[in-house]
A and B are shown apart, each in its own frame.
Chain A
Amino acid sequence: MACRQLWASRAASYLRISVFHRGFSNVIKDFKYVDSHEWVKVDGNYATIGITDHAQDHLGDVVYVELPEVGAAVTQGGSFGAVESVKATSDINSPISGKVVEVNEALNSSPALVNSSPYKDGWIIKVEINDSGELNNLMDSEQYSKFCEEEDSKH
């Protein structure tokens, strides 16, 4: 698992177009982020999760999203699915622990929504939150933007 994650992350970063990459990827102010490039939007005891604009930019054209089953448990930092582009596969890790209550079925027929609308129509799962205290471990939009800049400058 760790090897595949590392490999996928490495491969995804190769696919980034360095010269034409925007100085920063788009982020949403009120969302929370993790260093494996997923976002989470909290709404009471529930949260919506997807991959960031930065992640989809690195992956390139998404051709398949592997979705978990409704009712599945997810854990903070654990993989719950995968995103496939033409040339790379990347695990999707959950920013928080909880139970899946809804998955975005539209991604089965239109995986490219992850590219065109990563923060809205391209959402991936909705979960019932186990422990809202876990949210304190996450980055806000400014921290995440800085993290992405630092990560990009290393490659």
Chain B
Amino acid sequence: MRGGLWQLGQSITRRLAQGDKKAVARRYFASDAELKKTVVYDFHVANGGKMVPFAGWSMPIQYKDSIMDSTLNCRENGSLFDVSHMCGLSLKGKDSVPFLEKLVIADVAGLAPGTGSLTVFTNEKGGAIDDSVITKVKDDHIYLVVNAGCRDKDLAHIEEHMKAFKAKGGDVSWHIHDERSLLALQIFGCCVIAHSFAPTSCYLFSHDLVMVLLLLRFLQHLTKADLSKMYFGGFQVLDINGVQCFLTRTGYTGEDGFEISIPSESAVDLAKAILEKSEGKIRLTGLGARDSLRLEAGLCLYGNDLEQHITPIEAGLTWAIGKRRRAEGGFLGADVILKQLEEGPKIRRVGFFSSGPPPRSHSEIQDEGGNNIGEVTSGGFSPCLKKNIAIGYVKSGLHKAGTKVKIIIRGKSNEGVVTKMPFVPTKYYKPS
């Protein structure tokens, strides 16, 4: 899902593996000059943003705050991220739902208008091409966001299938929202604040929450919409400060919050307004902290935890395959996936705690007898838990929580144990 430093790390590692040092350095700097910039770029730099290459863009990995502090503040108060490098698009036409259902595992037809879900685009072998949050605006309009690093292949994939679909008389067209920017606002305790609009349901109040309340009132004031009835996965097209925005109640951190798609010319103004209204509580947060947050929430990063050869079943995303889709199939790779549903996959994505150095992508996982049983796909130090956490794949049968493992880092064996995810409990705003 949405971004992350380790895709960067892997990308550079792969480049370094080729050719001599000078050639690598030259290619690296050339690449730097060609990076795209979001409309918020200058605002990042003015606020102390350290910009690094990510998926062809120059993105902020960090601001004044350390990655540790940024991560903690997101869970204590809130964060504002620029995720404009990600690609938003709309599918329109009376056949847009059946069209999309050929490409993703979700039960799109079953989505109520104004709601969305995480889904996976699959290839013919059932592997993940990308993960995406899709939302049904109306029965003939789907809005979705795909990962920056997968944009080119996703768009080529969709276009190819759209041509074939239209050639058979299907009614579907698309628009890529390159005129828009995407901000992700994650707020602690939003659900509590939402309920606090009704005094009798207010049960938690503190100085910090006063600030968050002011922010939510700020959003409510600008939108004239009732956000307290917009639950996790909800979607609305509404005006924020007179500008038409797509608001999705979702995120990539485990916290409550919104992704706001806004016309690019208004993005900086909205970012400034949010930061000012929160009086320093909501802080600009970079990709480094975002990666820590999604890891703590146990969420997949495409390129690390999801790849073309990994199916949604193996990745523990069986829940994202709608009930009807499990019965009917109808998406690419359905035969492989439905077979795995029936027989069980050979490998499974699990979480780990470990001692010693933080695990990183590609660390080998062994059983207690020293036999290889899998590989770490994401890992690091959890700022919230103050211990090492990791996500990886192990052979089925060795995936139960409590299973002891060894994680091999720089040739040394370190104690680890399989654990359920999320590592840090999620706080999505859901009907109670």
B84 within 8 A of A: no
Q: Which of A41-49, A57-65, A141-149 contacts B (4 or more CB under 8 A)?
A: A57-65
| A11 to B71 alpha-carbon distance, docked (Å) | 19
Expressed in whole angstroms, the minimum distance between the Cβ of A44 and any Cβ of chain B is 33
Expressed in whole angstroms, the minimum distance between the Cβ of B331 and any Cβ of chain A is 36
| A128 to B204 alpha-carbon distance, docked (Å) | 60
Q: Quick check: B12 and A17 within 8 Å, CB to CB? A: no
Expressed in whole angstroms, the minimum distance between the Cβ of B351 and any Cβ of chain A is 18
Q: Quick check: A60 and B381 within 8 Å, CB to CB? A: no
Q: Quick check: A61 and B16 within 8 Å, CB to CB? A: no
Q: Quick check: A84 and B358 within 8 Å, CB to CB? A: yes
Number of A-B contacts (CB under 8 A): 77
Q: Quick check: B48 and A3 within 8 Å, CB to CB? A: no
B380 within 8 A of A: yes
A11 contacts which chain B residues (CB < 8 A)? 5, 8-9, 12
Expressed in whole angstroms, the minimum distance between the Cβ of B381 and any Cβ of chain A is 4
If the complex has contacts A6-B16, A17-B50, A19-B48, are A86 and B288 also in contact, measured as CB distance less than 8 A?
yes
- Range class of the B interface residue count: 20 to 34
Q: Quick check: A3 and B410 within 8 Å, CB to CB? A: no
A89 within 8 A of B: yes
| A2 to B16 alpha-carbon distance, docked (Å) | 9
| A19 to B383 alpha-carbon distance, docked (Å) | 24
The listed residue (A15, A18, A82) touching B288 by CB distance below 8 A is: A15
Q: Quick check: B21 and A6 within 8 Å, CB to CB? A: yes
A7 within 8 A of B: yes
Expressed in whole angstroms, the minimum distance between the Cβ of A61 and any Cβ of chain B is 4
B163 within 8 A of A: no
B245 within 8 A of A: no
Q: Quick check: A14 and B61 within 8 Å, CB to CB? A: yes
Q: Quick check: B64 and A20 within 8 Å, CB to CB? A: yes
Q: Quick check: B288 and A3 within 8 Å, CB to CB? A: no
Q: Quick check: A3 and B17 within 8 Å, CB to CB? A: yes
Interface SS of A by simple majority = mixed
| A10 to B61 alpha-carbon distance, docked (Å) | 14
| A82 to B67 alpha-carbon distance, docked (Å) | 20
B62 contacts which chain A residues (CB < 8 A)? 15, 17, 60
Interface string of B377-395 (1 = CB under 8 A from A): 0001101000000000000
Q: Quick check: A16 and B50 within 8 Å, CB to CB? A: yes
A87 within 8 A of B: yes
B68 within 8 A of A: yes
| A60 to B64 alpha-carbon distance, docked (Å) | 11
Q: Quick check: B5 and A87 within 8 Å, CB to CB? A: yes
The listed residue (B13, B64, B288) touching A87 by CB distance below 8 A is: B288
Expressed in whole angstroms, the minimum distance between the Cβ of B420 and any Cβ of chain A is 23
| Chain B residue with the shortest CB-CB distance to A65 | B357
A66 within 8 A of B: yes
B353 within 8 A of A: no
Which residues of chain B from 358 to 405 have a CB within 8 Å of any chain A CB? 358, 360, 380-381, 383
| A86 to B410 alpha-carbon distance, docked (Å) | 17
B63 within 8 A of A: yes
Which residues of chain B from 1 to 16 have a CB within 8 Å of any chain A CB? 5, 8-9, 12-13, 16
If the complex has contacts A3-B13, A60-B67, A64-B356, are A87 and B50 also in contact, measured as CB distance less than 8 A?
no
| Chain A residue with the shortest CB-CB distance to B381 | A63
Q: Quick check: B16 and A66 within 8 Å, CB to CB? A: no
The listed residue (B12, B24, B67) touching A61 by CB distance below 8 A is: B67
| Chain A residue with the shortest CB-CB distance to B288 | A87
| A36 to B430 alpha-carbon distance, docked (Å) | 51
B45 contacts which chain A residues (CB < 8 A)? 19
B237 within 8 A of A: no
| A145 to B17 alpha-carbon distance, docked (Å) | 31
| A93 to B64 alpha-carbon distance, docked (Å) | 29
| A10 to B21 alpha-carbon distance, docked (Å) | 13
Interface hub of A2, A19, A20 (most chain B Cβ within 10 A): A19
| Chain A residue with the shortest CB-CB distance to B54 | A14
Q: Quick check: B12 and A86 within 8 Å, CB to CB? A: no
If the complex has contacts A3-B13, A11-B12, A19-B45, are A86 and B67 also in contact, measured as CB distance less than 8 A?
yes
| A17 to B48 alpha-carbon distance, docked (Å) | 7
B residues adjacent to A (C-beta < 8 A)? 5, 8-9, 12-13, 16-17, 21, 24, 28, 45, 48-50, 52, 61-64, 66-68, 71, 288, 291-292, 356-358, 360, 380-381, 383, 410
Q: What are the 8 A-B residue pairs with the smallest beta carbon separation, nearest first?
A: A63-B381, A61-B68, A14-B52, A19-B48, A3-B16, A86-B67, A64-B357, A87-B288
Return 20 A-B CB contacts under 8 Å, by A number: A2-B21, A3-B17, A6-B21, A7-B13, A11-B5, A14-B61, A15-B62, A17-B62, A17-B63, A18-B48, A60-B66, A61-B67, A63-B381, A82-B357, A86-B68, A86-B288, A86-B380, A87-B67, A87-B288, A87-B380
**Extra contacts besides A17-B62, A64-B356 (17): CB < 8 Å:** A3-B13, A6-B16, A6-B24, A7-B12, A11-B12, A15-B67, A15-B288, A17-B48, A60-B62, A61-B68, A63-B358, A64-B358, A66-B357, A82-B357, A84-B358, A86-B383, A87-B291
